[in-house]
Amino acid sequence: MFCRNCGKEIDDKAYVCPHCGVLTSNAEAQKQPVNDSGSAGWGVLGFFFPLVGLILFLIWKSDRPKSARSAGIGALISVILYAVLIVIEIIIVVIAAMSSGYGTIALLPALIAA
Ligand SMILES: [Zn+2]
């Protein structure tokens, strides 16, 4: 093939033109993100496995930004929901302990369990 920058003949498999250093169409085909659909499936995976979602987010954030964001948002929602559930649980335990009149000492085992 011929370089589209300088027009000189170069190897068909070359990624960079040896004459002028410009990337060839091979390099551009290579750069195309593969299967970066950003599908909701990655979000669901991140939701149920936040750690996996986080890892996928870190691995993909440059190569597959859409899928990375999807997995990252799923993981984030999961972590936030989990944190909210724990806070609600602590509030319920505190209210239950206060209304039962046992005081703060009775709270400790319940808080540890939560
Ligand atoms: Zn060239």
Cα–ligand 1 centroid distance for 29 (angstroms): 17
Residue 31 CA, ligand 1 centroid: distance in Å: 19
Q: Do 24 and 74 fall within a single domain?
A: no
Please give the model's pTM, rounded to 2 decimal places: 0.53
Euclidean distance between CA atoms 112 and 25, whole angstroms: 60
Domain limits for position 2: 1-32
Q: How far is the CA of 16 from the centre of ligand 1 (A)?
A: 8
Same domain, 60 and 87: yes
Rounded CA-CA distance 77/62 in Å is 22
4 and 20 inside one domain: yes
Residue 1, pLDDT > 70, answer yes
For residues 24-62, b (16+ Cβ closer than 10 Å) or e, as one string? bebeeeeeeeeeeebeeebbebbbebbeebbebbeebee
26 and 51 assigned to the same domain: no
Quick one: 38 and 28 in the same domain? no
Give 22 Cα–ligand 1 centroid separation in angstroms: 6
Q: How far apart are CA 28 and CA 9, in angstroms?
A: 18
Q: What is the pLDDT of residues 59-108, one digit of tens each?
A: 999 988 999 999 999 999 999 999 999 999 999 988 888 877 655 665 66
